[in-house]
Structure 1
Amino acid sequence: MSDSSKRPGRLVAFTAVACLGFAAQAQAQVGPLLWEDNFNTLNTDHWNVIEGDGCPGLCGWGNQELEYYQDDNVSIEPVPGESGNSAIVLEARNQSVENRAFTSGKLDSKNGVSVKYGMIETRIRVPNLDTGLWPAFWLLGTSTSPWPAKGEIDMMEMGHKQSYIDAEFSGANINHFVGSNAIFYADAACVPANPTCAASTAFETDNAYLASTSLADRFVTYRLYWTDQSLRFSVVDNGTEYDMYDSPIPVNEESSEFRQPFYLLMNLAVGGNFTDALQNSQVTAPLPAKMYIDYVRVYEYNGLGEVTLGNPSEPETGTFGVFSDRTDTSRSLASGETSDIYIWSTNSLVGGNAQPFEGSEVISWDYTAPGQWFGGGVQSRQPLDMSNFVDGDLSFRIKVPANVGFRVGITDTYTNEHYIDFPAGEEKYGLVRNGGWSQVTIPVEELTGELIALQSVSYPFAILSTATTPASNVAIAIDDIVWLGGGDANTGGGNDDDNDGVDNGTDQCPGTASGAQVNALGCATTDAQIEAEDYSNFMDADVGNNGGAYRTDDVDIEATTDNGGGFNVGWTTPGEWLEYDTNLAPGTYQVSARVASLNGGGQFTLSEGGESVSANIAATGGWQVWQTIDLGELQINADASLRLDVQTGGFNLNWLRLEQTSGDGGDDTTPPAGPYGVEQTSADTLAFYVQSSSWADIHYSVNGGGQQNVRMTQASGENTYPVSGLSAGDTLSYSFTYWDAAGNMAVDTATQTVIVQ
């Protein structure tokens, strides 16, 4: 699935040349689960619902697609035939919107979830494709570079032109054929017929899987095994894994795009140049049609794997170097490695021969086309979070003739740009027009204007001509470009009072417990499915893995045939135990487990912080006949570690699911609605309050400790009861039974949780 656009301008200077090669990998091993989404709900912190047809900038999404994407075509629905399981659904319809004859659904995780390396797995069911439907699950680089220089990874694509299918499998049915691909920028691919210079690993290769039965209307699992040395694509069909390519695709210096983070995309396109339907009348696929995505999971692979939630860029701090040799900086871009210097006006600018102001490198350009515009800049290969510099400055050295007007600005990844004008002859911000070097310092608050998103900067420095272009050939030189005033580099710039990695300025949940998993807004995750095989510690009664799958320690793990595939823990015996790290927000959670047992009678306890829930497992009809059982509610504290103790063996465990039923998700101490609640009255005190009541019974505990009970009585007005001696980060869990002034019970609350600020 491509997102086509041209590479802007010409890359100049500081180009490295390296030998290309592929190093053999050590024995492959899939490690712990790093992140997953089982699509019980649509998490809009992680996923963006795409709308439109790409116009005006990229009509038809660069592929002549015929559909209009809209929110209404994306939904969470039960999976047909799989009780209790849900999936995200993308539905294509024969529906006219905005001059498009079809509508459909598309999601991406840009600025929500980014991945670098690991084993990525998804379980997908496609409809009957016939002619015109084009389902895809793919990835694009988070790089600021245009396609294909940012890189594209296509884990699965179906709906190919029949001629493409016939080239590999003559006469094969479109519903039996699925392919994969990796696309990157290569100079060798720059030919007149390929102006984007896109190099495709699928070009003239056997990169596909042909199923013996139709892939439509049933689930298939797709995997990408990704390291800094290779990409491997596979399909798991009816329990058997098939490689898409004959061997893994090497990743090297030419394809270094694949050594950067990527975000995820999924869509069901209608028509386009990938298919045999370039016109509305050529679409014959039955509509409406639904594509189901059951889950997305990312595992560590060969010791590699990173998942970032929210903005993939850490905020820059201190003094940030854009192009500088000797200035002391907290961090700097490196030309040809983490940044590129582009000339946009290749007809008017060429490389010059000016001497550097400092160090050994300089941006030196000769303007050779009087009357034409000029422009260029320094582009970071990854978005830069410059939000700590809102009160700082952009400083640079420049040597420019007095009769040359120019503009200096920055751009963000949302295509916003803003410039400060320096008309010919005018001196400001420190500019001196005497033919030598001068230092210009522009306040960032003036440089950003009204639209620039400092948290996602693409070009931290750009220079253009003004409307009045030079009337003669001139030389321009720029050096020592730095951002100043980004806060204390040792503390990460701004303040992060709750230590969740999100600055106070953007933290919408400022009371999040330290260690809790949070999204880009600093709000804690409030539910999780824990795979049985992803334990952090264990005790197993025998030596060796009886199932021989997934891990090489003594816990017994096998592949499962349960919905969603993956693995289960088995061969359980009394006295064995497993521990799991949760990173959940404090609160009360409903716990369920996915179990199987031939004979029944198994028992285990799940505990945390002195509280526990128990499971009694009946016979399910077989070791791979699965049932979901309810264990009840469990209180979870900050930085919790769950322990599963086996009392009676003879059962298999696929997963544990925890869904929060109460608790504030790590939010602040905003009280619940009504004339009662909790407020923080000092640095170490929380106080219960109740108004105009006859009395209120309150049950509370601090940090999961023993329960305390208190009754407050008040005929009118307000009464408070303080709980003191607390520290920042402590959790107070409580419930109210509240009677109004007339003696009628007004509310009986479930357990609530607040956190000391």
Structure 2
Amino acid sequence: MTLKKSAIAAAIVGTFVSSIANSKTLTWEDTFDGNSIDTSVWTYDVGNSGWGNNELQNYTDDSDNAYVEDGNLVIQALKNVDGSFSSARLKSHGRLSYKYGTIEARIKLPDMDAGLWPAFWQLGGDYGQVGWPACGELDILEAGMAEALEAGVVNSEISGAFHWWHESDDYTGQADYAQSQNLVEDFGSSTNLTEDYHTFGMTWTPDSIIMWVDDEANEIVSIGTDDPAFDEFQQQHFLILNLAVGGIFPQIYDNSEITAPMPAKMYVDYVRIYDNDDSSYSTELSVAADTAKSGNLGIYGDSDEISELLTFGTDTELYVWNNMVSQTSLDDGDALEFAVATGEWFGMGVWMHYDLNLMNYQNGHLNFLMKTTTEESIGIGIASTSGGESWIDLSTEGNSFGLERDGQWHQVSIPLSKFGLDFNTINQALMVRGNAPTADFTLALDDIYFSESGAKTAPATSFSLYTETTDTDSTFELGADGNLYIWGDTLAETASSPYEGSESLAYTSAGAGWFGMAFSPDSYYDLSAFDNDTATLNFALKTSSTTAFKIGMKSGSIDDVEQKWIDFTNGVDPYDFARDGQWHQVSIPVTDFSDEVDMSNVIQLFELLGVDGEISDIEIDDIYFSGGSGSDDGSDDGSDTGSRDLIAQATVTTSNEIQSIDNAIDGNRSTRWESAHGGDSAWILLDLGKAEALNTLSIDWEAANAAAYTVQGSNNSTSWTTLASFNGGNAGERTDEYALSGDYRYVRLYFTKRSTVYGYSIWELNLTGGSGQDSNISATSELQSADLAIDGDSSTRWESVHGLDNVSLTYDLGAQQAIGTVSIDWEAANAATYSLLASTDGAQWTNIQSFSGMSAGDRKDLISVEGNYRYLKVDCTERSTAYGYSIWEIDTF
């Protein structure tokens, strides 16, 4: 985002004949018609690094700086009380990219006099591998330049620019080419950039790129790109929208010189990408759902667990950074073994040739075999282009994640929820590092792979984090579900005087100058049931300190993104809290968090942070969520007639979308789901959470309907049964209704033929049904979901995290019933020692039978029960293998 015109750029641009086709087909659009920014398309750059341009603002993901309002994306720059500035920078990196076609955005800009720098631009998709400017940069809109400020025309002057790395016989190095035009004087517009919306576009072909405003004839800048020196512009690019404050473009570098009115708002009505309908090329659109990996994705090894293996030299490269001498060859298929010497730090990384899309693994695991004898801490890391890098230490004093230092192979399994990065843009699939060791050692790795996300814990009506007396339906168990972490040893425990029970969290600062703590689960939580107007986060709080602090929650995997803080400041504390050294009950509406926190994907359940000095005393107790809209007993209103609304409990996803699927399940026929244009294959998937008896499906189509599709059911999302089919429809609004039968957890609408040249479009989607029995299953540890043990499919299995002996699996049959026999069909990784327990209330348990001394291997245990029970528990205490526990199916009869 710089405005430079180098001599070499001017020389090599040359001339060409402009040829812009009038015929175009809409391929993708975001019209910002929903209630929030579409996170499947947009993510954020955050921070105040200056962004290589000496910019003054701090970019945030706060809803104050970026939000949707009246069909517009609003990017808002704010001046804070201390004179600093905040704003937002949105990007589609790792979520949406394209090559060739016509792109346009309808935008209204704020008053830029003086110091604002709005932009609509794009970068090459290999940014993470080659950096800038070798990735190429296309600036479709920039405004606020210093020359325009000096001339008094800043609100009508616009610029387009190209930046790339040029290599030729004449010149090698950074190249820049840019031109500016005056909207009013050069193109005769009756309004300037701030008085009305204007359309900023770019027509991109294999031979040329033309940037324009309002009409393709209003050319701002153009360039011929058929020379090999312009390879950066022959690849996919991702989009960026931002509003900067100060920097090299306006040439303002001091906060006091920013005189533009604040708040400053950049309005974006829509962004659209068209295919140019040219027979010699077409627009190539890539969305994250199409590039996402699935299954057990291997980095290295030949384990049967690996379903797809990345290839060294094609997908990846192994780079030794320092002090790790390889003892094996990548070509011989043996384990990776390294010799590490004393005296120097050690490190290596598995670098990607492209950004690897692991969006399906955020709640999964990084698994590998490791063998070593060293007692040194070993850092395991992953890096992403869009979200930085993150490390976990395998330590003898902390969590080893299954590693033992005895020189034998051990299975290590690290929850990917422990890594704070962007899983859509992984550029280092594995990194290993450590400080200088005190003795030589060897380190070996094998069978390195990622396993997909497991099921999230989803509390329904009430959920406790830390309480001894409040009765809730679901509880966060410290040590089993996650832990309470003190950040950086910044807080020390002090004497407590609990609000309830016998314990509370009582702290004083430990002298670090800041303090923080969080309840952090080992896997992501789905708190969607609490994303309503009545749910609250409740806790008791006590302090006499005047030090400011914050209470927060966080979702998602990217540091500082999808995190919301509530400020507690002396004299203006919210929610009627008082700093009088007495207990006060605080209830924060969950909606105060959910404008920035994705409640379906929470990874920090409760956070405390202070950055303005030490705190003398703070005590917290009785922490719980209440007001959830779900139901733990599955009975809803006390009955289950087979006509219950199953959409309400479903997680609904699509293969792609221009307009959100939420629009098809909101009960509003004026809004609609719309798929991407130009492709026949698309799907909608409903995950009902458990097998339900299906009754009626209704699809209310907009004119762009499906000419052919099938309705399918499944209990494992792999094997599908056709429930209904349709073929031969014409374009036009219609409603399809089907009477369905069978018990299924997953329902998929699989579209195979469009009736128009556009995508598929549905006003409303409805599904009713409901089984008379509501069974569910949970486990204290999941590498593969516990649901797979009761899905009726003997080819799928529950698997616990490797390396843990004490694991239990609890099966709620939904109602007390007579049980004669329990069948447990174990996979080879069975329990050497375990007990089957039964209960009527889930609290008092009867030991039905215990087993010990069992050997590894597939087996089926048939256990006589002969009683009336609702709950069964398989309580495992000793593994028969080095892995976890694994069960194909549990049945009762």
Instruction: Check whether the contact 2:123–2:135 (CA below 8 A) recurs between aligned residues.
Output: yes
| 1:417 matches 2:391 | yes
Task: State the one-letter code of the partner of 2:77.
Answer: A
1:63 is displaced (CA, Å) by: 3.5
1:312 is displaced (CA, Å) by: 6.3
Partner of 2:219: 242
SS of equivalent to 2:355? coil
Task: State the one-letter code of the partner of 1:271.
Answer: G
Partner of 1:72: 64
1:223 is displaced (CA, Å) by: 3.0
SS of equivalent to 1:244? strand
Task: State the one-letter code of the partner of 1:54.
Answer: G
1:723-749 Cα deviation digits (max 9, x unpaired): xxxxxxxxxxxxxxxxxxxxxxxxxxx
Partner of 2:235: 259
| 1:179 matches 2:159 | yes
Instruction: Check whether the contact 1:509–1:521 (CA below 8 A) recurs between aligned residues.
Output: no
Cα distance in 1, alignment partners of residues 647 and 17 from structure 2? 43
Given candidates 126, 130, 135, the residue that maps to 2:109 is 126
SS of equivalent to 1:272? coil
Partner of 1:755: none
1:369-402 Cα deviation digits (max 9, x unpaired): x53322221133313428569887744688x8x7
1:341 is displaced (CA, Å) by: 4.2
Partner of 2:412: 443
Q: 1:263 to 1:132 in 2, by over 3 A?
A: same
1:126 is displaced (CA, Å) by: 2.0
Instruction: Check whether the contact 2:101–2:275 (CA below 8 A) recurs between aligned residues.
Output: yes
Q: 1:386 to 1:404 in 2, by over 3 A?
A: farther
Q: Could you tell which deviates more after superposition, 99-108 or 291-300?
A: 99-108
Instruction: Check whether the contact 2:379–2:433 (CA below 8 A) recurs between aligned residues.
Output: yes
Instruction: Check whether the contact 1:106–1:268 (CA below 8 A) recurs between aligned residues.
Output: yes
Cα distance in 1, alignment partners of residues 419 and 66 from structure 2? 33
Cα distance in 2, alignment partners of residues 151 and 38 from structure 1? 28
Cα distance in 2, alignment partners of residues 230 and 59 from structure 1? 34
| 1:139 matches 2:131 | no
Partner of 2:789: none
RMSD: 6.0
1:223-242 Cα deviation digits (max 9, x unpaired): 34456x56724113356242
- List aligned pairs for 1:479-498, cutoff 5 A: 482-483=448-449
SS of equivalent to 1:277? coil
Instruction: Check whether the contact 2:678–2:759 (CA below 8 A) recurs between aligned residues.
Output: no
Partner of 1:87: 72
Partner of 1:271: 246
Q: 1:432 to 1:44 in 2, by over 3 A?
A: same
Q: 1:375 to 1:39 in 2, by over 3 A?
A: same
SS of equivalent to 1:41? coil
Instruction: Check whether the contact 1:71–1:105 (CA below 8 A) recurs between aligned residues.
Output: no
Partner of 2:32: 39
Instruction: Check whether the contact 2:122–2:239 (CA below 8 A) recurs between aligned residues.
Output: yes
Instruction: Check whether the contact 2:76–2:263 (CA below 8 A) recurs between aligned residues.
Output: yes
| 1:281 matches 2:256 | yes
Cα distance in 2, alignment partners of residues 611 and 253 from structure 1? 43
Q: 1:388 to 1:177 in 2, by over 3 A?
A: closer
Partner of 1:371: 343
Q: 1:122 to 1:529 in 2, by over 3 A?
A: farther
Instruction: Check whether the contact 1:112–1:520 (CA below 8 A) recurs between aligned residues.
Output: no
Q: Could you tell which deviates more after superposition, 310-319 or 125-134?
A: 310-319
Cα distance in 2, alignment partners of residues 36 and 419 from structure 1? 43
| 1:221 matches 2:187 | no
1:296 is displaced (CA, Å) by: 0.8
Cα distance in 1, alignment partners of residues 222 and 362 from structure 2? 47
Instruction: Check whether the contact 2:80–2:86 (CA below 8 A) recurs between aligned residues.
Output: yes
Partner of 2:283: 305
Cα distance in 1, alignment partners of residues 258 and 157 from structure 2? 18
1:283 is displaced (CA, Å) by: 1.8
1:133 is displaced (CA, Å) by: 0.9
Partner of 2:437: 469
Partner of 1:647: none
1:66-109 Cα deviation digits (max 9, x unpaired): 3565422445456xxxxxxx43333334x315x44344444334
Partner of 2:142: 158
Q: 1:105 to 1:206 in 2, by over 3 A?
A: closer
Cα distance in 1, alignment partners of residues 232 and 301 from structure 2? 27
Instruction: Check whether the contact 2:208–2:224 (CA below 8 A) recurs between aligned residues.
Output: no
Instruction: Check whether the contact 1:317–1:486 (CA below 8 A) recurs between aligned residues.
Output: yes
SS of equivalent to 2:159? strand
Task: State the one-letter code of the partner of 2:413.
Answer: V
Instruction: Check whether the contact 1:409–1:420 (CA below 8 A) recurs between aligned residues.
Output: yes
Q: 1:294 to 1:44 in 2, by over 3 A?
A: closer
Cα distance in 1, alignment partners of residues 130 and 52 from structure 2? 14
1:287 is displaced (CA, Å) by: 4.0
1:54 is displaced (CA, Å) by: 0.7
Instruction: Check whether the contact 2:383–2:421 (CA below 8 A) recurs between aligned residues.
Output: yes
Task: State the one-letter code of the partner of 2:105.
Answer: T
Cα distance in 2, alignment partners of residues 234 and 182 from structure 1? 10
Cα distance in 2, alignment partners of residues 455 and 509 from structure 1? 29
Q: 1:67 to 1:239 in 2, by over 3 A?
A: same
1:364 is displaced (CA, Å) by: 9.3
Q: 1:96 to 1:238 in 2, by over 3 A?
A: same
TM superposition score normalised by structure 1: 0.51
Q: 1:582 to 1:431 in 2, by over 3 A?
A: closer
1:295 is displaced (CA, Å) by: 1.1
Cα distance in 2, alignment partners of residues 325 and 259 from structure 1? 34
Task: State the one-letter code of the partner of 1:88.
Answer: L
Task: State the one-letter code of the partner of 1:293.
Answer: V
Cα distance in 2, alignment partners of residues 325 and 28 from structure 1? 52
Cα distance in 2, alignment partners of residues 444 and 349 from structure 1? 25
Cα distance in 2, alignment partners of residues 174 and 519 from structure 1? 34
Q: 1:64 to 1:307 in 2, by over 3 A?
A: same
Partner of 1:14: none
- List aligned pairs for 1:653-672, cutoff 5 A: 660=763, 662-664=764-766, 669=768
Task: State the one-letter code of the partner of 2:38.
Answer: D
Partner of 2:91: 108
1:129 is displaced (CA, Å) by: 2.1
1:464 is displaced (CA, Å) by: 1.0
Task: State the one-letter code of the partner of 2:348.
Answer: G
SS of equivalent to 1:259? coil
Q: Percent identity?
A: 18
SS of equivalent to 2:38? coil
Partner of 2:132: 148
Partner of 2:611: none
Cα distance in 1, alignment partners of residues 130 and 203 from structure 2? 25
Instruction: Check whether the contact 2:67–2:75 (CA below 8 A) recurs between aligned residues.
Output: yes
Instruction: Check whether the contact 1:393–1:442 (CA below 8 A) recurs between aligned residues.
Output: no
1:135 is displaced (CA, Å) by: 0.5
Count residues with an aligned counterpart.
Answer: 502
Q: Could you tell which deviates more after superposition, 263-272 or 99-108?
A: 99-108
Q: 1:293 to 1:331 in 2, by over 3 A?
A: same
Instruction: Check whether the contact 1:107–1:265 (CA below 8 A) recurs between aligned residues.
Output: yes
Cα distance in 1, alignment partners of residues 203 and 301 from structure 2? 38
SS of equivalent to 1:469? coil
Instruction: Check whether the contact 2:300–2:309 (CA below 8 A) recurs between aligned residues.
Output: yes
Cα distance in 2, alignment partners of residues 207 and 325 from structure 1? 55
Task: State the one-letter code of the partner of 2:412.
Answer: P
Given candidates 378, 400, 408, the residue that maps to 1:407 is 378
Cα distance in 1, alignment partners of residues 231 and 731 from structure 2? 55
1:124-150 Cα deviation digits (max 9, x unpaired): 222332321101112356665585389
1:250 is displaced (CA, Å) by: 5.5
Cα distance in 1, alignment partners of residues 732 and 450 from structure 2? 53
Instruction: Check whether the contact 1:135–1:268 (CA below 8 A) recurs between aligned residues.
Output: yes
1:173-222 Cα deviation digits (max 9, x unpaired): 4344433445567899xxxxxxxx9x6542xx345445415544343333
1:624-650 Cα deviation digits (max 9, x unpaired): xxxxxxxxxx64776598879xxxxxx
